[in-house]
């Protein structure tokens, strides 16, 4: 690979991650995993999702600060309950996929994209006000576990699972659920990344700093790019109508799914 083109390209990928996350509400892993497979020579699905999980740890931590303007004021008890389940699920999901071949891992990712795409086009999120929130301890742990499993299996943050389930269960309000989701992503994706780090590395990837199925060389490049793209995405989000955002998001998911299908069919 040519470093003059590759490393700026990874920065540009990070800009796209931040832009799409801020403008469309798409988790960064949905873009990072297929992009790594497409543009990093020798990349396999396991290392793509392991690297994606570690990057999301830093992106989500930055989002927590940004979304709350430096003031973490939501319910800590709920966050801990969700994280208790999600950390276990994230590690289990990341660990168990080492026994799957590359095609199976890719198909798992394709199925998740399809489910998110259906939700994008057809399902309206329920409205939950602050005074309608109800504590449900066991349910919160189970929702966190489902988020962790999805995150560890696919390399995405898990917000696409947590946000709708938390709203349907009434354990979080619309105003707080995105910030809450980002907070829970930090330990969730860290657990999934650790599960990938203890696996055998892919030595076919011509990049420095491999740690198991995670490549540390990609982490700072994509993260810095994401921080540059996030404010642009937020500005776009403020100026796009909901219907337009949903159509654009759905089309992006269809294009990514179609490209992944060409890899496995």
Q: What is the mean pLDDT of residues 155-159?
A: 84
CA–CA distance, 231 with 142 (Å, rounded to integer): 33
Residue extents of the structural domains in the chain: 3-264
Query: Stretch 118-123: mean pLDDT, rounded?
Result: 72
Supply the pLDDT for residue 214.
Answer: 95
pLDDT band at 25 (very low <50, low <70, confident <90, very high): low
Residue 198 reports pLDDT greater than 80: yes
Residue 47: closest CA among 252, 207, 260, 225 = 207
* Between residues 72 and 222, the one the model is more confident about: 222
Mind listing the pLDDT tens digit for each residue in 63-79? 877 766 545 555 678 88
CA distance linking residue 262 with residue 201, whole number of Å? 26
pLDDT averaged over every residue in the chain: 84
21 strand-pairing partners:
none
């Amino acid at each position: 690979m040519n470093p003059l083109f590759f490393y700026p390209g990874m920065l540009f990928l990070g800009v796209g991650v931040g832009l799409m996350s801020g403008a469309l509400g798409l988790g960064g892993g949905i873009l990072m995993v297929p992009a790594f497979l497409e543009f990093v020579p020798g990349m396999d699905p396991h290392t793509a999702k392991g690297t994606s999980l570690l990057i999301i740890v830093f992106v989500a931590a930055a989002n927590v600060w940004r979304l709350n303007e430096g003031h973490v004021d939501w319910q800590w008890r709920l966050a801990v309950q969700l994280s208790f389940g999600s950390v276990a699920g994230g590690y289990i999901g990341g660990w168990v996929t080492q026994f799957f071949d590359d095609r199976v891992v890719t198909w798992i990712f394709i199925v998740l994209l399809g489910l998110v795409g259906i939700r994008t086009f057809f399902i309206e999120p329920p409205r939950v006000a602050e005074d309608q929130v109800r504590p449900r301890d066991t349910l919160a742990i189970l929702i966190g576990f489902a988020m962790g499993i999805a995150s560890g299996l696919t390399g995405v943050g898990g917000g696409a699972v947590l946000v709708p389930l938390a709203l349907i269960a009434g354990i979080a309000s619309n105003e707080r659920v995105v910030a809450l989701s980002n907070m829970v992503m930090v330990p969730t994706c860290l657990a999934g990344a650790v599960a990938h780090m203890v696996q055998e590395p892919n030595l076919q990837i011509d990049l420095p700093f491999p740690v198991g199925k995670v490549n540390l060389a990609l982490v700072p490049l994509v993260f810095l790019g994401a921080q540059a793209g996030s404010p642009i995405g937020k500005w776009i989000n403020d100026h796009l109508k909901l219907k337009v955002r949903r159509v654009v998001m759905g089309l992006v998911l269809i294009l990514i799914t179609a490209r992944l299908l060409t890899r496995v069919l």
